[in-house]
Structure 1
Amino acid sequence: MSNECGDKDAEANGAVTALLNRAAAADARADDRLRIAIADFFLAEAARLDDRTRIAMAATLGDLVQSVEAALRHHAARLLLARDAALLSAAVEAEGTSIFDRLAQAGVLRDAELMRELLGRVQQDLLTDALPGESPDDPDRPSLLPRLASAPDRVISASAVALMTAESRRRGSPAPGQPAVTDLPAELHHRVIWWVAAAIRESLEAQDGESRMLLDRALVDAALRSIAAHDEGDRLEATALRLASALDPQASELAILLVEALADRWLAVFIALLARALGLDYADAREIVLDRDGSRLWLVLRALELDRAAIARIGLALCEAEPVRNLDRFADGINDILAISPSTARHALAPLLLHRDYRAALVALGRGTHQ
Structure 2
Amino acid sequence: MSVGPDPVRDVMSPYDPVARAEDARLRAETRLTATIADFSLDANARLDDRTRLLLAQVLEAIVGAIEWDIRRHAARLLAAGGATQAGEAMLRAGAESVLDRLTRAGLLRDEELMDELIARVRHDLIAASLPVEVAEPDEASLLVRLAGVPDSVVASGASALLAAESRRRVSNEQGSVGGSELPAELHHRLVWWVAAAVRDGLQSVTHESDRAITDAAQRSLAAHDEGERPDAVAMRLAAALDARPNELPAVVVESIGDRRLSLFVAVLAHAVGIAFDQARAITLDPEGDRLWLALRAMDLDRPTIARIGFALSEADPRRDIEAFADALDAIVSVGVEDARATLVPLALSRDFRMALRALARTDRR
TM-score (norm 2): 0.86
Give 1 or 2 for the bigger CA radius of gyration: 1
Conserved? CA contact 1:68–1:180, under 8 Å: no
1:180·1:226 contact (CA, 8 Å) conserved in 2? no
Superposition deviation, residue 184 in structure 1:
0.8
1:155 to 153, 156, 169: 153
Q: Which has the higher helix share?
A: 1
Change (3 A) 1:240 1:27: same
**Structure 2 counterpart of 1:237:** 231
1:82-97 maps to which residues of 2 (within 5 A)?
82-97=80-95
* Cα distance, 1:331–1:255 mapped onto 2, change above 3 Å: same
Partner of 1:132: 131
Aligned residue in 1 for 2:140? 142
CA distance in 2, matches of 1:153, 1:64: 36
CA-CA distance at 1:368 after TM superposition = 6.5
Q: Return the offset for 1:49.
A: 1.3
Q: Provide the rounded CA distance (Å) in 2 between the counterparts of 1:30 and 1:71.
A: 32
Q: CA–CA distance in 1 between the matches of 2:122 and 2:277? A: 12
Which has the higher mean CA deviation after the structures are superposed, 125-134 or 316-325? 316-325
* Alpha-carbon spacing, 1:203–1:360, altered in 2? closer, same or farther (3 Å): closer
Instruction: Show CA shifts across 1:9-53 (max 9, x none).
Output: xxxxxxxxx999999988877776665455433322222211211
CA-CA distance at 1:277 after TM superposition? 1.1
Give the Cα separation in 1 of the matches to 2:92 and 2:353: 47
- Look up the equivalent residue of 1:306 and give its one-letter code: L
Residue 116 (structure 1) aligned with residue 115 (structure 2): yes
8 Å contact 1:124–1:267 — kept in the other structure? yes
Q: Counterpart of 1:46 in 2: which secondary structure?
A: coil
- What is the TM-score of this pair, normalised by structure 1? 0.84
> 1:303 matched to which residue of 2?
297
- How far apart in 2 are the matches of 1:353 and 1:109? 28
Q: Match for 1:316: what amino acid?
A: F
**How much has 1:249 moved relative to structure 2?**
0.3
Aligned to 1:3: none
Partner of 1:63: 61
| Pairing of 1:213-362 with structure 2 (within 5 A) | 213-362=207-356
Q: Deviations over 1:62-111 (max 9, x none)?
A: 11111111111122222222222222222222333311101111111111
Equivalent position of 2:10 in the other structure: none
Cα distance change of structure 1 residues 307 and 48 upon mapping to structure 2, 3 Å threshold: same
In the superposition, relative to structure 1, how do residues 146 and 341 fare at CA in structure 2: closer, same or farther (>3 Å)? same
Query: Which amino acid letter does the alignment assign opposite residue 151 of structure 2?
Result: D
Residue 351 of structure 1 and its aligned partner are, at CA, apart by 2.7
Q: CA deviation at 1:325?
A: 1.2
- Bigger drift between 357-366 and 253-262 goes to 357-366
Deviation string 1:250-301 (CA, Å, 9 cap, x unpaired) is 0111111000001000000000011111111111110000001111111111
| Contact persistence 2:275–2:347 (CA under 8 A) | no
1:202-223 deviations in Å (ceiling 9; x for gaps): 211325xxxx122112211211
Give the equivalent residue in structure 1 for 2:196.
Answer: 198
The aligned residue for residue 102 of structure 1 is 101
Give the Cα separation in 2 of the matches to 1:246 and 1:131. 25
* 1:180 to 1:72, Cα distance in 2 relative to 1, 3 A: farther
Cα displacement (A) at 1:137 = 2.4
Gaps of 5+ in 2: 1-15, 172-176
Gaps of 5+ in 1: 1-17, 174-178
Alpha-carbon distance in 2 for matches of 1:368, 1:66: 34
Asked if structure 1 preserves the Cα contact closer than 8 Å seen for 2:296 and 2:336, the reply is: yes
For residues 200-246 of structure 1, give each alpha carbon's deviation from its aligned partner in whole angstroms, at most 9, with x where no partner exists.
11211325xxxx12211221121111111111111111100000000
Find the aligned partners of 1:271 and 1:226 in 2 and give their Cα distance.
29
Question: Would you say the 8 A contact 2:93–2:201 is kept in 1?
Answer: no
Query: How far off its partner does 1:349 sit?
Result: 2.2
- Aligned partner of 1:55: which letter? L
Indicate how the Cα distance of structure 1 residues 306 and 63 shifts in structure 2: closer, same or farther if over 3 A, else same. Answer: same
Q: Indicate if the aligned counterparts of 1:71 and 1:180 stay in contact, CA closer than 8 A.
A: no
The 8 Å contact of residues 170 and 183 in structure 1, kept in 2 or not, is answered as: no
* Whole-angstrom CA distance in 1 between matches of 2:197 and 2:362: 37
Q: Which residue does 1:13 correspond to in 2?
A: none
Mapped to 1, the partners of 2:363 and 2:223 lie a distance apart of: 45
2:49 is matched with which residue: 34, 48, 51? 51
Equivalent position SS for 2:182 = coil
27 and 53 in structure 1: CA distance in 2 versus 1, 3 angstrom threshold: same
